[in-house]
Amino acid sequence: MKKTFFFLLLLGTTLCMAQNVKPVKVSRTDNHFIYEVYNYGERIDTQYVQIEIGGFDQYLIADGQSLPGEYQPAANAKGNYIPGYSVDDIFVDEDSIITITTIFDSDRSQCYRTATPFGRTDIKFDTAQVNGLTRYTCSINSNKMEFYVQPFKTWWNRNNSCGGVAPRDITPLPHYGRFPGLLVSFWRNGQCQMQLAKTEKMHSSKFYPSSNAIPVTWRQLSDIKRNHMVITTRVFDSVQLCWCGKNDHIEGNYRENTPFDSVLHYAGGTLALKRVRLPQLPLHYQTFLELRQRSNGDAYDRTGSVFVIPEAYVDLKPNFFDGINSHPDSLPCFIGRDGERYQGFLPGISHLHQYFISSFIYEPPVELMRFFTPFGVGQFNDRVQIDGLDWEDEAYYKQEVTDLAQLLQGEVWIGIWIGNYDKGGHTVTLDIKSYPGDSDPTLPEPSNSQPRPLFNTCNALEMAGQNYGKLFGTDSIKVSFSIYDTNAQYRLRYIATGHGGWDGGDEFNPKTHTILIDGQPVFTHTPWRSDCGRYREWNPVSGNFWNGMSSSDFSRSGWCPGTATQPVYFTLPKLSRGSHTITVAIPQGEPQAGSFSHWCISGVLIEE
Indicate whether 412 pLDDT > 80.
Answer: yes
Do 343 and 465 have their domain in common? yes
Is residue 14 included in any domain, yes or no? no
> Is 492 within 8 Å of 582 (Cβ atoms)?
yes
Helix segments in 310-415, DSSP class H: 321-325
For the segment 462-504, what is each residue's pLDDT rounded down to a tens digit?
Answer: 999 999 999 999 999 999 999 999 999 999 999 999 999 888 8
* Residue pair 490/566 in contact by the 8 Å Cβ criterion: no
CA distance 455 to 586: 14
Separation of alpha carbons 184 and 67, rounded Å: 18
Sort strands 426-435 and 598-607 into parallel, antiparallel or unpaired.
Answer: unpaired
pLDDT above 90 (res 207):
no
- Determine the pLDDT at residue 542: 96
Last residue of some domain: 186, 206, 226?
226
- To 5 degrees, how large is the angle CA 279–CA 285–CA 287? 75
- Helix runs in 282-422, H state only: 321-325
State pTM to two decimals. 0.86
pLDDT-derived band at 196 (thresholds 50, 70, 90) equals very high
Q: What is the mean pLDDT of residues 77-97?
A: 82
In terms of domains, do 411 and 516 share one?
A: yes
Asked if 553 contacts 533 with a C-beta cutoff of 8 angstroms, the reply is: yes
In the predicted structure, residue 608 carries a pLDDT above the cut 50: yes
Residues 437 and 546 occupy one common structural domain: yes
Residues 6+ away with beta carbon under 8 Å from 226: 84
Asked whether the beta carbons of 334 and 431 are under 8 A apart, the reply is no
Beta bridge partners of 116: 97
78 with 58: CB under 8 angstroms?
no
Q: In this structure, are 260 and 295 located in the same domain?
A: yes
DSSP codes, 71-114? ---GGG--S---TT-EEEEEEEESSEEEEEEEEEETTEEEEEEE
Are 117 and 244 in a shared domain? no
pLDDT in tens, 247-286: 999 999 999 999 999 999 999 999 999 999 999 999 999 9
> What's the whole-number mean pLDDT along residues 515-542?
97
**Above 80 in pLDDT, residue 46?**
no
Domain assignment of residue 595, yes or no = yes
What tens digit of pLDDT does each residue of 118-127 get? 878 889 999 9
Quick check: is 147 in a domain? Answer: yes
Kindly state the average pLDDT of the residues 416-436.
98
Whether residue 257 sits in one domain with residue 384? yes
Strands 214-215 and 108-117 turn out to be parallel
pLDDT band at 78 (very low <50, low <70, confident <90, very high): low
Q: Is the pLDDT of residue 411 over 70?
A: yes
pLDDT of residue 75: 52
The answer to whether residue 291 sits within a structural domain is yes
Order of strands, sheet of 426-435, starting from the edge strand that comes earlier in the sequence: 231-241, 426-435, 286-295, 395-400
Are both 148 and 50 inside the same structural domain?
A: yes
* Distances 112 to 90, 103, 268, 548 between C-alpha atoms, Å: 12, 8, 50, 55
Give the up-direction half-sphere exposure of residue 310: CA atoms within 13 A in the CB hemisphere.
21
Q: Domain range for residue 558?
A: 230-607
Q: What are the Cα distances from residue 101, in Å, to 113, 178, 220?
A: 7, 22, 12
Would you mind telling me the total number of residues written for the chain in this entry? Answer: 608
Measure the CA–CA gap between 268 and 244, rounded to whole angstroms: 6
Does residue 5 form part of some domain? Answer: no
Could you give the 3-state DSSP secondary structure of residue 335?
A: strand
Is residue 76 pLDDT above 70, yes or no? Answer: no
2 confidence band (pLDDT: 50, 70, 90): very low
CB neighbours of 104 closer than 8 A, spacing ≥ 6? 77, 81, 83, 84, 85, 86
Exposure string over 485-512, b if 16+ CB within 10 A, otherwise e: eeeeebbbbbbbbbbbeeeebbbbbebe
Q: What is the pLDDT of residues 359-386, one digit of tens each?
A: 999 999 999 999 999 999 999 999 999 9
Reported confidence tier of residue 204, pLDDT bands at 50, 70, 90? low
Measured between alpha carbons, how far is residue 170 from residues 165, 207, 354 in Å?
15, 17, 76
Question: Which is nearest to 537 in space by CA: 561, 558, 504?
Answer: 561
First-residue to last-residue Cα distance in the chain: 46
Look up residue 473 and give its DSSP letter.
G
**Banded pLDDT at 74 (limits 50, 70, 90):** low
Mean pLDDT of the chain: 90
Specify the pLDDT at position 39. 74
| Cβ–Cβ < 8 Å for 100, 213 | yes
Identify the band that residue 206 occupies on the pLDDT scale cut at 50, 70 and 90: low
Q: Write out the E strands in 409-558.
A: 410-418, 426-435, 452-456, 477-483, 490-499, 513-517, 520-525
Number of domains in the chain: 2
pLDDT at 172: 93
6 located within any domain: no
CA 367 to mean position of chain CA atoms: 17
List the alpha helices (DSSP H) in 196-320: 218-229, 254-257
Q: Are residues 431 and 291 in the same domain?
A: yes
Whether residue 142 is found in the same domain as residue 270: no
| Residue 12 resides in a domain | no
Rounded mean pLDDT, 114-133: 91
Instruction: Compute the Cα dihedral for 136, 137, 139, 144 and give only its sign.
Output: positive
Q: Is residue 323 part of a domain?
A: yes
Residues 175 and 235 in one domain: no
Angstrom distance (rounded) from CA 294 to CA 419: 14
Report CA 42 to chain centroid distance, whole Å: 30
**The last residue of a domain, from among 226, 257, 274:** 226
The whole-number average pLDDT for the span 303-325 is 97
Output the pLDDT for position 44.
59
Q: What is the CATH number of the domain that holds 388?
A: 2.60.120.1570
The CA distance from 373 to 350, in Å, is 33
Q: Which helix (H) or strand (E) holds 12?
A: helix 2-19
Cα 407 to Cα 461: distance, rounded to the nearest angstrom: 21
Shared domain check, 149 and 278 = no
d(CA 77, CA 67) in angstroms, rounded, equals: 15
Boundary-marking domain end, from 210, 226, 242: 226
What is d(CA 517, CA 521) in angstroms, rounded to the nearest whole number?
A: 6
Same domain, 80 and 178: yes
CA distances for 99 relative to 90, 134, 172, 521, angstroms: 4, 28, 13, 61
Percent of the chain topping pLDDT 90: 72
**Comparing 148-157, 203-212, 253-262, 348-357, which segment has the lowest mean pLDDT?**
203-212
